Amino acid sequence: MKKSFIAIMIAAVSAASALSSCTHSDDNYNEKAFANAMVTVRTAGTGDVYLMLADDKAVEPVNLKKHPFDGKTVRAYANIDEQENGKVYVNWIDSVLTKQPVADLGEDNGTAYGSDPVDIVNSWETVAEDGFLTIRFRTVWGGMAKHEVNLVTGSDPDDPYKVIFCHNAHGDTVGRVGDGVVAFDLSSLPYTGDKPVKLTLVWKSSTGERTASMNFRSHNPDIFNNYTSAQ
């Protein structure tokens, strides 16, 4: 699927929610048309593709024998049907923009990464999970320039789990409000082990600086091997 489908889908999900009372005859279509999971697509040491549905839940996609994204570890929207024995059938899957964090530059962060306001949407897509931070964000899009988002790590020497979300609109600040989704691979942060730590997200919103805290755990590289050995 093309990347543009994501933006269309986000708008469509909102519309579908508002009209759900009028679409009972289309329930089966809606179940397959919209995402019911946000997953990490990973490759095991055996070369098998597997999906992470949560920090502790690895599943095997029975109809994905070939990695759908050229072997890259990415976050993705998916519509799946869960089956027995930890297996799923993937009806469709579409990757989310997945990036590495950037280094803290102190006072130069705004110049390098942007300081345009952006709002973080409190939704099921905004989640710290499986070693990633996935963010649904909202801002003004005019279509005149490509927006850029980054996640800064290393700003607090006493707290490696404090991260800053930066947005650079590149002057494109007049237009309609819309959403985007991005995921950041936090494997460069200190390994948390089995116990979650507090991840603090900082960003400049349309009403000033905001913070949010959430539980975060690093990806367990043995989880799929542990899952398969238990079958």
Q: Are residues 169 and 137 in the same domain?
A: yes
**Among 40, 63, 96, where does a domain finish?**
96
List the domain range (segments joined by +) for residue 116: 97-216
Residue 197 belongs to a domain: yes
pLDDT at 9: 37
- DSSP letter for 152, please: E
pLDDT at 65: 84
Higher confidence at residue 12 or residue 24?
24
Residue 228 belongs to a domain: no
Domain count, the chain: 2
Residue 223 belongs to a domain: no
Give the pLDDT band (50/70/90) at residue 17. Answer: very low
pLDDT at 21: 35
- The answer to whether the beta carbons of residues 120 and 135 sit under 8 Å apart is yes
For residue 153, pLDDT over 70 is answered with yes
Give the pLDDT band (50/70/90) at residue 185. Answer: very high
**Left, alpha or beta for 130 (phi > 0: left; psi -120 to 50: alpha)?**
left
- Token pair, residue 163, equals 């991260």
User: In the predicted model, what is the mean pLDDT of residues 126-155?
Assistant: 97
For residue 208, pLDDT over 70 is answered with yes
For residue 115, pLDDT over 70 is answered with yes
For residue 28, pLDDT over 90 is answered with no
Q: Are residues 117 and 83 in the same domain?
A: no
User: In the predicted model, what is the mean pLDDT of residues 41-50?
Assistant: 89
CATH number, domain containing residue 205:
2.60.40.2370
Higher confidence at residue 167 or residue 220?
167
For residue 30, pLDDT over 60 is answered with yes
Give the pLDDT band (50/70/90) at residue 27. Answer: low
Q: Are residues 31 and 92 in the same domain?
A: yes
pLDDT at 3: 37
pLDDT at 58: 92
Give the pLDDT band (50/70/90) at residue 11. Answer: very low
Q: Are residues 119 and 70 in the same domain?
A: no
pLDDT at 46: 79
Give the pLDDT band (50/70/90) at residue 227. Answer: low
15 alpha carbon, distance to own chain's centre: 21
- The answer to whether the beta carbons of residues 74 and 98 sit under 8 Å apart is yes
pLDDT at 7: 39
Per-residue pLDDT tens digits for 51-99: 999 999 999 999 998 999 999 999 999 999 999 888 999 999 999 999 9
d(CA 40, CA 63): 16
Residue 185 belongs to a domain: yes
Dihedral over alpha carbons 6, 12, 14, 16 (to 10 degrees): -140
Residue 231 belongs to a domain: no
